[in-house]
Structure 1
Amino acid sequence: MTVQRAHVTMTAIPSSVGVITDFTRRFFELSPYVVENAELSYALQLMVSEAVTNVVRHAYDDEPGEVGVELLFDDERAVLLITDQGKPFDPTRVASPDLDNPLGHGLGVFLIREHADALSYSYVDQTNMFRIEKRLS
């Protein structure tokens, strides 16, 4: 089984979202599992962007902090692990948004749910760990 892995950690500020999204896009472009599937590449980039945006906007209440993104591919799935040391927050418990009022809260998590095959959350050693899985086939 072939496994590819990449990790990036940055300060949780708005400009980091674009940098992390670009980093993940470039990693996906190098992955033989994703390069030929534009829909899969888009879904993975969208999920990373939405999860990192949530950390930047909500995790630290305007205090300094970091966001980490670990990307892992094997022959069957992609795993995205988003980490931060902000206040505890379980995105798997976020209610579905009112789609008639798309400016409300929860739209990013909704988009992640729509594209992911599995989500899980844990809070260990003062670290939020949001795991997103997507089958490659």
Structure 2
Amino acid sequence: MFKILICLCFVVTMNFDALCQVANHTVHLNEGSRGNVENQEKSVKEFTICQRKVTIMVLATLVIIAGVSYNSHRNIRKCNFEAQFQKIEIDEQEARLQRLTEERNKILRERNWLLKEVRHRVKNNLQVVTSLLNTQSAYLKDHVAIEAMSDSRNRVHAISLIHQKLYASCASDVDMNTYIKDLVTYLSDSFCTTQKGIHIKQVMDPFVMELEQAIPIGLILNEGITNAIKHAFDNGTGQITIRLILYENNQVLLTLSDNGKGMSPNFSLDQTNTFGMEMMKALCRQLNGSFQIENRNGVTMSVSFRLQKTKLM
């Protein structure tokens, strides 16, 4: 647009210069030949024609400038209208997104509240079961029955402890490091390992595990630690070592070893049908893992399985 205006101004200027030259020429002619009427009339006509041309060019320039200005104004209004329309669309999309976000957050809050309530009730129900087992044990006289009740109470507590951790942290996964430490503390207090001279060492990688895998691991550890405390040490002193290692391929290795007297040389895992051993093998199958137990300066129990999803702490 500016280039057109410059060209028009240049044309008008050229014509104006021509008009001035004609006028000057006319003045000279008038001075040189004042009596020549024909020359005067010719000069006047030329001046008049040139003046008309300049006037027409000026008017045309003004018309073009007005047209260009109007077109520019229309384009500006059109751009402003499109910008306002786009702004309205963006505002509507932001409002819809905000509504969807609020609805999602509401659903998540309700879901978390329901999960927390379920875990709370499960924890309370398991504590009721533990209390019933304790009450029943008080009326038993047979040592074997009392010991069976105690083992069942510890198994229930191992499950209850997981739900207690989930309820307290409002999380969907179990921090295995903290959970195993609390489980070991509970079993140590139950069997008075400090007074017996039994030390439980823990070597664990920090990561979390889903509830479906954490419960079998807790029950396997409860069974293995209980058996080691009861049967591994004749003189009552020794060490139990727990290792929970997470490898790069999401493979988890749980080992529970002691430096006690070990198993009988004739021991066979396939031929052993005690309740505790059968339960550990069933829990390992639930994890889709492998279960091994062998004599190695005591007893070493190994459980290898794949973690469902990796979440490091």
Confirm or deny a common fold (TM above 0.5): yes
* Matched residue SS, 1:61: coil
Number of paired residues? Answer: 110
Match of 1:121 in 2: 293
TM (norm. structure 2) is 0.30
> Based on CA coordinates, which of the two structures has the bigger radius of gyration?
2
Matched, 1:133 2:304: yes
Matched, 1:45 2:221: no
Match of 2:269 in 1: 92
* Matches of 2:301 and 2:268, distance apart in 1: 8
Shift of 1:111: 1.6
* Matches of 2:305 and 2:268, distance apart in 1: 17
TM (norm. structure 1) is 0.62
After TM superposition, the runs of 4+ consecutive aligned structure 1 residues lying more than 6 A away are: none
Matched, 1:31 2:202: no
Q: Is the 8 A contact 1:76 1:135 kept in 2?
A: yes
CA deviations over 1:78-106 (Å, ceiling 9, x no partner): 2111111112225735622xxxxxxxxx2
Shift of 1:64: 1.2
Q: Is the 8 A contact 1:94 1:109 kept in 2?
A: no
* Matched residue SS, 1:113: helix
CA deviations over 1:24-80 (Å, ceiling 9, x no partner): 9xx79x524x1xx21111111111111111101111135211111111123433211
* Matched residue SS, 1:60: coil
Match of 2:275 in 1: 107
* Matches of 1:109 and 1:42, distance apart in 2: 17
CA RMSD of aligned residues (A): 3.5
Q: What amino acid is the match of 1:87?
A: K
Specify every segment of 5 or more residues in structure 1 that has no aligned partner in the other structure, as ranges. Answer: 1-5, 97-105
- Answer 1 or 2: higher relative contact order, Cα 8 Å, separation at least 6: 1
Shift of 1:15: 4.3
**Structure with greater proportional strand content:** 1
Q: What amino acid is the match of 2:236?
A: E
- Choose from 240, 250, 254 the match for 1:80: 254
**Structure with greater proportional helix content:** 2
Match of 1:103 in 2: none
Q: What amino acid is the match of 1:92?
A: L
Q: Is the 8 A contact 1:48 1:80 kept in 2?
A: no
- Choose from 221, 226, 234 the match for 1:61: 234
